[in-house]
A and B are shown apart, each in its own frame.
Chain A
Amino acid sequence: MPKNTHDVIVVGAGHNGLTAASYMAKAGLDVVVLEKNDWIGGAAVSRELYPGWKYSNCSYVCSLLRPEIMRDLELYKYGLQIIPYEGSATMMKNGDYYTHYHDHDMTINSIRRHSHKDAEAYERYSRDVLRQCKIIKPLLKMTPPDLTSFKPKDLFGALEFAKHFAAKDELGGLGEKEIYDTIRFYTMSIRDYLEEYFESEITKAHLAGSAIIGTALGPCSPGSAYVLLHHYMGEVDGSVGSWGYARGGMGSITQAMMGCLKDHGGEVKPSSEVTNVITKNGKAIGVATQNGDEYYAKKIVSNLDVKRTFLEITEEKDLPDDFVRSVKNFKIRGSSGKLNIALDGLPEFPCIPEGDPGGGGDMHFTETIEEMEGAYDDWKRGEWSRNPYVDMCIPSKSDPTMAEPGKHYMSVFIQYVPFNLANGGWNEERKQEFGRHIVDCIAEFSPNFKDLINHYEVRTPLELENEVGLTEGNIFQGELTMDQLMFNRPVPGYAQYRTPLKNMYMCSSSTHPGGGVMGAPGANAAREVLLDMNVPQKGNYY
C-alpha cells in the first residue's frame, strides 16, 4: 500500500475545504485534498447534465463569499467573476407584482405602489438590518472565543467579540439600545420582526423569503429573523445584502479555488472517498480511502459536516462520550429541494412587464406569510409543500456562459421539502412527482414555461445527502439557530475548529460562522491550523 505523507490532508473538496487548503498551500504547506466524487466542488458546482446547458446544481447565487478571500486567493485570475443581480420580484395571482431593484430609490418607488407607509418604513428597516450586518461582519472572520476558558487568547477574544456588540461608535460598535435590538433580532421570528415595520402582506412576504431559505424553521418560528440576517450580511462590492451570479455557475468558485491551490503546489484527488480517520495514541495521523489508499499527515482537516466527520469517518472510541452525544444532537434537518431546468427560450412571466429589471434576479410567488407558514406545516407532516415557496432565477439572463444565446437555464430552489418523506420515503417515482408538482406551480405564472423545457434535474434532500454528502440535505450543514451559532457551533466547547482528537480539525459550514458559500469557516480553520504549526499567515483576511 502506498504511503503518502503530506503536511495536511483536507477531507472533501467543497468550497470551505478548498479555501482552507489554498490558504495553507499559500503559506507553504504540502496539502492534499481528498474528494469522494469524481468531480470537485461539493455544493458549489457547475455540471452539464444536458448538452449545451450548464447548471449550478446545488448552490446557485453568491453574496456571502468573503471578498478578502477572493482577493487573497486571487480567484479572478483563475476565472471567477461575480455578476450582480438586477432585481427581484414576487408575482401575484391578481396579475400584479412586487419588486426590489439594485437601486434603492427605485425599490422605494416600487414598494410605494403597494403601501406608501411601507415604502418609508423600508428606509428604517434597511438601516436597522444594515446595523446588524455591521455588527456581525467582523465576527465572521473571528475564531469564536471559548467563554469558559481563562487562556489569554480566549479572554481577549471574548473582549473583542463583546466590543462589536457593546462598544460605542468610535470603537466600531453600537450603543446600548442597539444591543437590545440585536438580542431581539437573533431570537425573534421573521413575521414578528417584519410586523414592527410593514403593513402590506406582499412586502412582508417578499422580505421574509430570505429568512426561510434553507432552514427547517417557518416564518413564525423564533430564530428565523437571524436566518434573514445570514442571507443579508453578504455583499457584492460593498453593496451589503446584494446577491450575484458566479459567471459560469457556482462551480467557477471552486474551480478558481482549485486553480489557486494547484498554483501553490497543492493537490486534489477526486474519487477518493475517505472511509476512516487513522488514529494512534489518541491522535489523528492519517486517513484511509474507499479504494484502499492510505494518506498520512501532520494535520487532518475535515470539510464534512460535523455528523459525518464524527459519526461516520471517526471511531466513537476515539472521542469523549459527551462530545459524541452533542454531535448526535446537532440539528441538521433537510428542508429544501431544487430543480435545474434547461429551457429552449425565455419563459414569459406576464406579471412582470418586459424589460423590468425586477425580473433579472430572484422571482417568487408567495404572497403572504401565512402561505409560507402553510408550506412549512406540510413539511412538518413529512410532505413537500403543496403551495411551496420558491426562489427561482434565470442566471442565463445575465450570464452568457450558461447556455447558447437565446437559450436559458433556470434554477428553482424549493422550500419546504422533507428528508424523511412520509408514507415510505423517497423513491424515483415520488421524486419525479415532486418535480412535476413544482413545474405545475411555476406554469401557473408562465403560460409558455412548460413548452420550453428540454430537460430538468430534480434534487431532493436525499439526493443532496447522497451526492454532496450534506447530512439530511441541510444546505447550511446544520441549522442556523442561536443554540448552534458562534461559540456553540458546532457544539459547545469545540467552536475553535479543533476537535477532541489531536491534529484533527473542522473547516465545514458546521463551524462558525455557518452555511452559505462564504469560505469563512475554511479560512478561519486554516488560520488555526497554521497557528498550531507555527507557520506565519499572510493576506487580507487575517
Chain B
Amino acid sequence: MTQDLRYSALKKTPFHSRTSLASRTNKYYNWNGYTVPTEYSTTELEYTAARNGTSVMDLTPMGKYEIIGDHAHQFVDYLVTRDLSKMKDNTVAYIIWCNEDGKVIDDGTIFKFSSTKFMLCCAVKIYNWLNDSAYGFDVTITDVTDTIAALAIQGPTSCSTLKKFGATDLETLKPFEMREYKIDGFDILISRTGFTGDLGYELWTEPKNAETTWDNIEIAGKELKLRPFGMYALEMTRIEAGFIQTNTDFMAAEDSLRPTRMRSPYEIGMGWLVHLNKNSYFVGKKALKKEKEENTTERCLVGLDIDGDKPAHGSVIYNSKKEDIGIVTAALWSPIMKKNIALASLKRPYGIKIKENIFAEIYHPEELEYRKIWARCKVVKRQFFNPERRNKVPADLYE
C-alpha cells in the first residue's frame, strides 16, 4: 500500500481504486494533499442521496491526530475552548481551538476512547501546533491521517445501510457517541457524527480494510438509495446545516497573512463553544475573557434568507444607506428548502441588533453579461436545515 511519494504531487487514499471506479466524470481535487472526487456523476443527485438515501464519502484526507498519554485528557481540555472535563469515554465532541490571542485556528471533532487516548479530526494540518502546545504534558501525538481510512455514511437510510453492513443495534447509538465493531473480521469504529446536518455516521478503520469495506457498504446500501458523494455535494449539505468551513467562512489564525482577518470564536458564531468559566486554563482564555468583558467583538457570522433564487456567491452586503457592512462567505439555492440561503460575515451591530433592511448585491452571470440584483436579506439562524431524524434515538430504520 505504501506509495512512492518522491515525485508525486498528490497521494491516493486507500479507497482510490473504488472512488475512481465510481467516478463517471473524472473530476478530482486536492484535499490536504490527496486526490479525491469533487463529483462522481451529478452533484444534484449526490446531494439528493444525502437527504433521501445514503451518501458515502471518502474522508481519509481529513487531518487525524492521535493523542495518547497520562495527560491526554488535561492536554485536550487545555487545547480547546470548550469544557471537556466531564467528557465521557466513547463519545465525540465538536470543538474549536484558538491561539494565544483568542483567534480561531480551526474547528474539528475530538474522539475520547479513554482519559489517556483521544483522536482529533480537523481540516487543517496541526501536527506542529499540537506538539508545540503539548509542552509540559505527558502526551505523545501521532499524525494518523495516513494510517486510518475514513468514510462518511450520511443520510436518512444510513443507519439501515450500516446495519445491513453488519453494525448490529446501530440505531441505539446516540449523536456524538461512538462504538467499536468487529465486522467481517475487521475492527471498525463507527461514530454518529458528520458534516451534513442529517442522520449520519463516520466509519474509521485500517487502510488494508478499505476496499472490502467500501464494497460491502455498497452492497448493503443497494436497496437503500446509496450513492458516492463528492465534495461539491458536501458543500451544499454543510451550508444547509450551517456548519462553518475553515478558510472559507473565516481565515484560520495560523493561515491569515493579514492579522485583521483573524477571527475570535464570537465573530464566527462559535461563542457557545467558549467556556470561560472552565476551571482550568485554555489557550486563548485571557484574550477571550477580555474581549467578552470589554465587548470588543467586531463581527458576526450569520445566516441569511435572501429574496429571489439566484445564489449570492461572494456578494457584498449593504445596509439601506448602501454602506458596505459585510460579505457572503458561502451561498446556495437550497434544494430541500427551496430557499436562497447564505452565510455572511457582518460588521456588528448588523446581524446582531440590526436584522432588517439588509441587502445583498448579487451579480448573476447571464451568457457573458452580469445581471445585477439588489436582493433583500433576512438574518436567520445559521442552522437552516435541522431535521428531527438527525438526533432521533433510536435512529430511523428502513426495513
Chain A residues in the interface with B (C-beta under 8 A): 67-68, 70-71, 74-76, 81-84, 86, 102-103, 236-239, 247, 357, 398-401, 404-406, 540
Query: A70 vs B339: C-alpha distance in the bound complex, in angstroms?
Result: 9
Contact yes or no, B223 A406, CB < 8 A: yes
Contact yes or no, A405 B42, CB < 8 A: no
**Could you say which residues of chain A place their CB within 8 Å of the CB of B338?**
67-68, 70-71, 75-76, 237
B43-51, B81-89, B124-132, B168-176 - interface stretch? B43-51
**Could you say which residues of chain A place their CB within 8 Å of the CB of B337?**
71, 74, 76
Does B225 count as interface, using CB distance less than 8 angstroms? Answer: yes
**Could you say which residues of chain B place their CB within 8 Å of the CB of A239?**
44
Q: How far is the CB of A536 from chain B (nearest CB, A)?
A: 16
**Could you say which residues of chain B place their CB within 8 Å of the CB of A83?**
48, 52
Q: How far is the CB of B386 from chain A (nearest CB, A)?
A: 11
Instruction: Please list 18 pairs of residues, one from A and one from B, whose beta carbons are closer than 8 Å in the complex, sorted by A's number.
Output: A67-B309, A71-B337, A71-B338, A76-B337, A82-B335, A84-B48, A102-B42, A103-B41, A236-B44, A236-B335, A237-B44, A237-B333, A237-B338, A238-B309, A398-B52, A399-B225, A404-B399, A540-B308
Known A67-B338, A71-B337, A400-B225; judge A86-B52 contact (CB<8 A).
no
Does B307 count as interface, using CB distance less than 8 angstroms? Answer: yes
B208-251 interface bits toward A, Cβ cutoff 8 Å, 1 = contact, 0 = none: 00000000000000011100000000000000000000000000
Which residue of B is nearest A399, CB measured? Answer: B52
Q: Is the interface of B mostly helix, strand, loop or mixed?
A: loop
Known A81-B336, A86-B45; judge A400-B224 contact (CB<8 A).
yes
Q: How far is the CB of A410 from chain B (nearest CB, A)?
A: 16
Q: How far is the CB of A128 from chain B (nearest CB, A)?
A: 15
Which residue of A is nearest B369, CB measured? Answer: A169
Contact yes or no, A84 B45, CB < 8 A: yes
* A-B pair number, CB within 8 angstroms: 62
Which residue of A is nearest B337, CB measured? Answer: A76
Q: How far is the CB of B227 from chain A (nearest CB, A)?
A: 10
Query: A448 vs B183: C-alpha distance in the bound complex, in angstroms?
Result: 35
Contact yes or no, A71 B44, CB < 8 A: no
**Could you say which residues of chain B place their CB within 8 Å of the CB of A68?**
338
Chain B residues in the interface with A (C-beta under 8 A): 41-42, 44-45, 48, 51-53, 156-157, 160, 223-225, 307-309, 333, 335-339, 398-399
Query: A473 vs B136: C-alpha distance in the bound complex, in angstroms?
Result: 81
**Could you say which residues of chain B place their CB within 8 Å of the CB of A67?**
309, 338
Which residue of A is nearest B335, CB measured? Answer: A237
Within 8 Å by CB of A357, from B41, B51, B225, B398, lies B41
Which residue of B is nearest A65, CB measured? Answer: B338
**Could you say which residues of chain A place their CB within 8 Å of the CB of B44?**
84, 102, 236-237, 239
Query: A74 vs B223: C-alpha distance in the bound complex, in angstroms?
Result: 30
Query: A264 vs B398: C-alpha distance in the bound complex, in angstroms?
Result: 32
**Could you say which residues of chain B place their CB within 8 Å of the CB of A405?**
160, 223-224, 398-399
Which residue of B is nearest A101, CB measured? Answer: B42
Contact yes or no, A400 B42, CB < 8 A: no
Q: How far is the CB of B176 from chain A (nearest CB, A)?
A: 25
Q: How far is the CB of B360 from chain A (nearest CB, A)?
A: 15
**Could you say which residues of chain B place their CB within 8 Å of the CB of A86?**
45
Lowest 8 CB-CB distances: which A-B pairs, in order?
A405-B223, A70-B338, A71-B338, A237-B335, A67-B338, A76-B337, A406-B223, A102-B42
Query: A191 vs B339: C-alpha distance in the bound complex, in angstroms?
Result: 38
Which residue of A is nearest B223, CB measured? Answer: A405
**Could you say which residues of chain A place their CB within 8 Å of the CB of B308?**
540
Contact yes or no, B309 A400, CB < 8 A: no
Q: How far is the CB of B163 from chain A (nearest CB, A)?
A: 11
**Could you say which residues of chain A place their CB within 8 Å of the CB of B309?**
67, 238
**Could you say which residues of chain B place their CB within 8 Å of the CB of A70?**
338
Query: A399 vs B51: C-alpha distance in the bound complex, in angstroms?
Result: 11
Which residue of B is nearest A247, CB measured? Answer: B52
Known A405-B223, A540-B307; judge A103-B339 contact (CB<8 A).
no
Q: How far is the CB of B390 from chain A (nearest CB, A)?
A: 14
**Could you say which residues of chain B place their CB within 8 Å of the CB of A75?**
338
Query: A239 vs B336: C-alpha distance in the bound complex, in angstroms?
Result: 14
Query: A404 vs B160: C-alpha distance in the bound complex, in angstroms?
Result: 12
Known A83-B52, A103-B42, A247-B52; judge A400-B156 contact (CB<8 A).
yes
Query: A238 vs B236: C-alpha distance in the bound complex, in angstroms?
Result: 15
**Could you say which residues of chain A place their CB within 8 Å of the CB of B339?**
71
Q: How far is the CB of A94 from chain B (nearest CB, A)?
A: 27
Within 8 Å by CB of A400, from B307, B333, B335, B398, lies B398
Query: A238 vs B335: C-alpha distance in the bound complex, in angstroms?
Result: 9
Known A83-B48, A405-B224; judge A400-B157 contact (CB<8 A).
yes
Query: A236 vs B309: C-alpha distance in the bound complex, in angstroms?
Result: 12
Q: How far is the CB of B88 from chain A (nearest CB, A)?
A: 33
Query: A141 vs B160: C-alpha distance in the bound complex, in angstroms?
Result: 42
Query: A86 vs B333: C-alpha distance in the bound complex, in angstroms?
Result: 20
